Amino acid sequence: MPHAYPTALALLLVLATIGCGSDPGYEHTYTTRAIVLSLPGEKVTQEFIVHHEEIPDYVSINGSIGMNEMAMPIPVPDKSLLKGIAVGDKVELVFGERFEPQHKMGLISITKLSMDTELNLGETTMPTTHP
Distance CA 37, CA 51 (A): 7
- How far is Cα of residue 92 from the mean position of the Cα atoms in its chain? 11
Which residue number, 89 or 97, has a Cβ lying nearer to Cu ion? Answer: 97
| Nearest C-alpha neighbor of 68 from the set 57, 48, 53 | 53
CB of 67 to Cu ion, least distance (A): 5
**End-to-end Cα separation, the chain, in angstroms:** 66
CB of 16 to Cu ion, least distance (A): 34
Which residue number, 114 or 125, has a Cβ lying nearer to Cu ion? Answer: 125
Instruction: Give CA torsion, residues 82, 114, 88, 118, to 10 deg.
Output: -130
Nearest residue by C-beta to Cu ion?
72
Distance CA 76, CA 11 (A): 30
CB of 52 to Cu ion, least distance (A): 6
Task: From 4-12, 15-23, 24-32, 60-68, give the range in contact with Cu ion by CB under 5 A.
Answer: 60-68
Task: From 18-26, 61-69, 107-115, 123-131, give the range in contact with Cu ion by CB under 5 A.
Answer: 61-69
Which residue number, 7 or 46, has a Cβ lying nearer to Cu ion? Answer: 46
Residues 63-102 within binding reach of Cu ion (CB under 5 A): 67, 70, 72
Distance CA 128, CA 88 (A): 5
Told to check if 107 binds Cu ion by CB under 5 A, we report no
- Per CB under 5 A, residues contacting Cu ion are 67, 70, 72
